[in-house]
Chains A and B, each alone.
Chain A
Amino acid sequence: MESRKITVTVNGQAHTRDVETRMTLADFLRHDLGMTGTHVGCEHGVCGACTILLDGRTARSCLTLAVQTDGHAIDTIEGMAPNPKDKTAPMHPLQEAFRDNHALQCGFCTPGMLTTIIELLRDNPEPSADEVRIAISGNLCRCTGYQTIVAATLDAAKRLKAEGRKP
């Protein structure tokens, strides 16, 4: 198998690794970097659980090869909370809104939902409920029926606005 050396910045930190050219970005993040926050639910680009931000735009890490991200920046769920290790420190307002609105049950779809909604709120800081539904239409959740995810997104938009913060 052919390998290539790549350097990828994940959540602000650069990682250089030799990877097989056929390795997906999802597997690279999860296995090579041990960042298991990004989940894999279908490996064929439909469920959206594996969604990450690639140079600020959403991408399916199951359909992206690790070598394609050489020299690029990736953001994952692990990078969202300012102090992820501190159990009592506040999380990102979107994460807090997810908790307060019960927008997750098993939590398996959550990483992809969060990254997708971050992109939405950057593009459209005050979305309507229908716009949220369309924005997350590429992310499957079997648990929640989406209703609380929509509520959490609207709530997060309000919080960000109140704090004068960008997502």
Chain B
Amino acid sequence: MSAPSSPLRSNRVLRVEDPDLLKGSGKFVDDMHLPGMLQAAFVRSPMGHAKVVSIDVSAALEVPGVHRVLTRDDLLPHLATEFIVVGLPSPAYKQDINRPALSGLEVVHVGEPVAIVLADNRYIAEDAAALVMVEYDPLPAVGDPREALKPGAPLVHSSSPHNLLAEFDMGYGDVDAAFASAPHVFKESLWQHRGGGHSIECRGDVAAYDPFSETLTLWSSTQTPHAGRSVLAGMLGWEEERIRVVTPDVGGGFGPKLIFYPEDVAVALAAYITGRPVKWIEDRREHFVATTQERDQYWDVEIAVDDNAKILGLRGSIVHDHGAYTARGVNLPYESAQTVTLAYEIPAYFMNVKLALTNKVPVTPVRGAGQPQGVFCMERMLDRVARELKLDRAEVRSRNLITAAQMPYTKPLKSRGGRQVVLDSGNYPACQADALAKAGLADFPARQAAARAEGRHIGLGFANFVKGTGRGPFEPVTVRVDPASGKVNVYSGATAMGQSTKTMFAQIVAEQLGGDISLINAKPGDTGSIAMGLGGFNSRLAVMAGSSAHLAAIKVRDKALLIASKVLKLPIEDLHLIGGRVEAKSDPSKSITLGQLAKSVAGVAGFVLPDGVTPGLEATEHFVVDDMAYANGCAAVEVEVDAETGGVHINKFVIAHDCGAVINPMVVDGQIVGAVAHGIGNALYEWMGFDDNCQPVTTNLGEYLLITAPEVPFIEVSHHESPTYLNPLGVKGVGECGVVPTAAAIMSAIEDALKEFNVFIAQTPITPGEIVAKIEAGRKSA
């Protein structure tokens, strides 16, 4: 089914987004200004858990320039439901815990919004927010998900029976039998932490209500405008028709912006209630306390292998920190558990997963969405096997990796939507071999010995990954030729947030419509221009929206040729599209522009359309695919560890990866490298900390470390292309791939560097202090 790649599609095409962004004329939500606009600031809970006794807004209202302060009581009359119900369906839930628009009874995490202040500017709004007097009655809080599940633990919500939000089992095969007869069983407890999304642009909304058309428009820095519209419509009890959600330029998404937030509802309602446009721009501190994060998972796992290191089974349990509310669902730990076995042949598997409520901001996917944790578990266990059986780490993997000859390979697992997991394509052993060769495995032992002789500790580590991409079921795209300008507009709910979506559309559509990218005007992310959409997440846009755009463009092309043949009175075979025109191959002087063609089918009252042609030069396609396309790869990394300070320096980083057919190699490299840098941060720097009372202790970028340029090594990317049969372009998603194997590969390299100290790393991130402690422990036991 996959089409041959064309020069336009597989090329390094420069991005259409760039000129505006480079000249400072991008249009981000904070760049919008509407006449009469009020600025909002939120009053937020300073406590991890408390009853709200009273809220007194009188002092705030006296500040000159303050217009309104809205609390839960002010919003309730306008809401059909005060709850944001967004949990993806699953039979695993034990309780439904949904966020309110504004909290007014009980606050359950620091940062939870309790009031919105509207003023002439943000300075005044913040002054006044500090004067809103909220009386809290503190309640015990619980932050460690393992503690939260113990009998007698403080309740995260005083009205809940317990803190177990959901529980499910995943697996296949007779795992107990596999372990009972296994010659070797190794057990580990892993702690895995990932921090926040931390797009450099925080969240933000502008809302305006038009009483004339009775419609509300919300411009929001969101990855999912259509979902936002439907949640908002549901909460207000309005028809979706009355709400338009528009995504302007987005300064990075990385997961947390796919969620619909209390602030979004509050800002929208504030505009409706006051009749004035309202803007709220999240500041970084708010991003730390009120934007969803990924945080903690605790894994207890054991692996059973035979004497040849062939895996017999893997089993264990995960306790997952869910935060205080359901803001997305059980999907994140589901993906973690699902990812574990993907790359390898594992005859029996079992994982029990418990999602624990905690008094912290809700947990939802950050780039990678639980999959780095699954890979980390598998790869750490394989390193353990290699060490225990005194085998080469690469050899242990090679004996267990699924091979190209086995593709498509059916895993006895179901996706969270209930579909069979089928690995469609890829050559996993080839990626491993390539990454290791490029990382210099051949002469590494000699280099390592030489370094050791100089008193330096260098190590090589690596990790394989397989990642589901292109989550269905569909992402509609409309391709429409504008009769006036002859330009080709592309509409979709597939939001752009830095991943070059507009360029992707331009390449795919121009390929069919005459090859001129400058004629393509991609305008994604507006519910006003296309009825349905899911949005940007799960490395899905090139797969889902790209395929729809491809099919829609073909339809428009065919129609353009048909109309032109009627108008020019020439056979279709003699026509082709070139630039913005249909031209006769036999006589290039005979041509007609796309704009003229569009006009000829735009309809003139009383006049007939060209014979046999339907109205309008446009097409909408909803390419549907339920199965995911599985990307894969291998990251190999060389580190040097300073045994005195525990400092880790990355000397070399190679990632061999396969995301199927490549639409734009420049963009693919950019996605991979950016995600690897994120992964390095997850391994060595990023930590979202809380104290025992669930007070966040890392609430600025001095305390919470995002990786900076000097810590990032040069990252070498090696492309492998196994086109998938699942979509007409043969593409797989790429946006998250780089992050998935990175922490696992780095830990493997650190261990290798410190093998004389017998260090085993069962956590991510790891700090220099912790590395020194492990070296000390190794020295003592030696």
**A147: interface (CB < 8 Å):** yes
Closest to B500 in A: A105
Instruction: Tell me the complex Cα distance, A27–B28, Å.
Output: 15
Binds B, one of A53-61, A65-73, A96-104: A96-104
A137 within 8 A of B: yes
Cβ of B588 to closest chain A Cβ, rounded Å = 25
**Contact between chains at A84 and B709 (CB < 8 Å):** no
Whether B22 pairs with A105 at a CB distance below 8 angstroms is no
Q: Are B199 and A108 in contact (CB under 8 A)?
A: yes
In the assembled complex, A40 has its CB within 8 A of some CB on chain B: yes
User: Within residues 239 to 260 of chain B, which ones have a CB less than 8 A from any CB in chain A?
Assistant: 249-252, 254
Residue of B500, B702, B712 near A146 (CB, 8 A) is: B712
Say if the beta carbon of B14 comes within 8 Å of chain A: yes
In the assembled complex, A121 has its CB within 8 A of some CB on chain B: no
B14 touches A100 (CB 8 A): yes
- Which residues of A sit under 8 angstroms from B759, Cβ to Cβ? none
**Which residue from A41, A107, A144 sits with its C-beta under 8 Å from B21?**
A107
**Chain A contact surface mostly:** loop
Asked if A140 and B708 make an inter-chain contact with CB atoms under 8 angstroms apart, the answer reads yes
Residues of chain A in range 113-135 having any CB-CB distance to chain B below 8 Å:
114, 129-130, 132-134
Q: How far, in angstroms, from A137 to B202 measured CA to CA in the complex?
A: 20
Q: Which residues of A contact B714 (CB under 8 A)?
A: 129, 147
A78 touches B670 (CB 8 A): no
State in angstroms the CA–CA spacing of A104 and B673 once bound together: 12
- Ranked 5 nearest A-B pairs via Cβ: A37-B24, A106-B498, A108-B251, A107-B21, A145-B677
1/0 per residue, CB under 8 A from A, across B248-275: the answer is 0111101000000000000000000000
- Count of chain B residues with a beta carbon within 8 Å of a chain A beta carbon: 54
A36, B701: Cβ atoms closer than 8 Å: no
Contact with B along A78-107 (1 / 0, CB 8 A): 101100100100010001001110101111
Q: Please tell me if the beta carbons of A91 and B250 are within 8 angstroms of each other in the complex.
A: no
**Interface hits, A10-31 → B, CB 8 Å:** 20, 22-23, 27, 30-31
Q: Taking the complex as formed, is B775 at the interface, i.e. its CB lies under 8 A from any CB of chain A?
A: no
| A-B contacts, 28 listed (Cβ < 8 Å) | A20-B123, A36-B24, A37-B26, A39-B201, A42-B283, A44-B284, A44-B702, A77-B23, A80-B23, A81-B22, A81-B23, A91-B19, A104-B21, A104-B22, A105-B498, A105-B499, A106-B201, A107-B22, A108-B252, A110-B21, A129-B714, A132-B709, A133-B709, A142-B254, A145-B673, A145-B676, A145-B715, A148-B670
How many of chain A's residues have a CB under 8 angstroms from any CB in B? 63
Cβ–Cβ < 8 Å partners of A22 in chain B:
123
The distance in angstroms between the C-alpha atoms of A46 and B619, with both chains bound, is 47
A63 within 8 A of B: no
**B424 to A: closest C-beta gap in Å:** 27
A to B contact number (C-beta, < 8 Å) = 176
How far is it, in angstroms, between the C-alpha of A81 and the C-alpha of B26 when the chains are bound? 14
CA distance A114 to B198 in the complex (A): 21
User: What residues of B have a CB within 8 angstroms of the CB of A43 in the complex?
Assistant: 283-284
A142: chain B residues at CB < 8 Å are 198-200, 252, 254, 674, 678, 706
Kindly list chain A residues whose C-beta atoms are within 8 Å of the C-beta of B18.
Answer: 98-99, 104, 107
The A-contacting residues of B in range 1-52, CB under 8 angstroms, are: 14-15, 17-19, 21-26, 28, 30-31, 33
Question: Across the interface, do B674 and A143 meet the contact criterion of CB distance under 8 Å?
Answer: yes
Q: Does B669 touch A at the CB level, under 8 Å? A: yes
Check B24–A47 contact: CB distance below 8 A: no
Q: What's the nearest-Cβ distance from chain B to residue A127, in Å?
A: 12
Residues of chain A within 8 A of B115, CB atoms compared = none
Interface presence of B582 (CB below 8 A) = no
Bound Cα distance A40, B26 (Å): 14
A47 to B30, CA, bound (A): 17
